[in-house]
Structure formats: structure tokens, C-alpha cells
Amino acid sequence: MARITPGGAKNAIAVAKVVAPAVIPVVTPYLIKATGVLRERWDRHKARRLGIAVGDLAQYTGHGGALHARISGVATALADLPEPDRDTETRLRQLAAAVRAAERMPASRRRAAHKAVDAELDAVEERLLRQLGV
């Protein structure tokens, strides 16, 4: 196994100083394109995980982004009902306000608040599915 010596390190740095100015202009456009492709894939993955369109991803940021997406989805489904339940609409607005308020809480309190909102959303979704006959 070859050891790195101070002289070898100096030689490697000298070679890098000569080669880098020629390589960087050639490689940079490919790196920029690769970064863009990776970002697009990450955004599609995140949007798919949240169940939203990629264009709507910016609306659901922060620690409570997934909960906001769920609340929005339930609100949309509720609006599609022939007779929307006003109590549920009010509850969804309250849950959205709780998630927004939790953004500024310390991490442990925020997680507890998100867990409570998640449990309440489960109950709201269950009632909605019953109303839809599913």
C-alpha cells in the first residue's frame, strides 16, 4: 500500500494546479446540468410523497408541510361533497392554524403538536370516508 508523503502531496498539488484550469471550464456545465436534474428528481419525489403536484410544492414547506398538504387534500375532498360539513371545515381551519403556530415552537413541542394534529386528521379522514361510503 502506497503511503502519502509530503513530497508526493506537493507533486499532486502541482499537477492539480496545472490540470484544474483546463478541466474546470469543461466540467462545470455538466455539473450544473446534473445538479438541475437531481433537484428536479428530488422535487418530484417530495411532491409524490406529499400527494401534491410539483408546482404546488412551494406552498407546503417547513416542518408542517406534509400536514398542510393533508389538510388541503381533506378540505378539497370535503368541498366536493354535496352537503359539506361546516363543523369539519371549521376543524380543518383550526388544525391548519395549529400547524402554522407549531412552526415557531421548540422541536419537542412542535413534534407533540404535529402528532396531535396527525391523530385528529386521521379521525377527520375516517369520518369523511364514511360520508363518502368508502
Q: What is the pLDDT of residues 39-55, one digit of tens each?
A: 999 999 999 999 999 99
User: Which pTM does this prediction carry?
Assistant: 0.74
- pLDDT at residue 17, rounded to an integer: 92
Q: At residue 2, does pLDDT exceed 80?
A: no
- pLDDT at residue 1, rounded to an integer: 60
- pLDDT at residue 83, rounded to an integer: 85
Distances from the Cα of 46 to the Cα of 28, 52, 111, angstroms:
27, 9, 20
- pLDDT at residue 80, rounded to an integer: 86
- pLDDT at residue 75, rounded to an integer: 94
Give me the residue spans of the domains in the chain: 9-57, 60-132
Give the count of alpha carbons within 13 A of 93, CB side only: 5
- pLDDT at residue 134, rounded to an integer: 82
What lies within 8 Å, CB to CB, of 89 at 6+ separation is 75, 78
pLDDT digits (tens, 9 = 90+) for 122-132: 999 999 888 88
User: CA 121, 124, 130: angle at the middle one, nearest 5?
Assistant: 140
pLDDT digits (tens, 9 = 90+) for 68-116: 999 999 999 898 888 878 899 999 999 999 999 999 999 999 999 999 9
CA 10 centroid distance within chain: 44
What mean pLDDT comes out for the span 3-29? 91
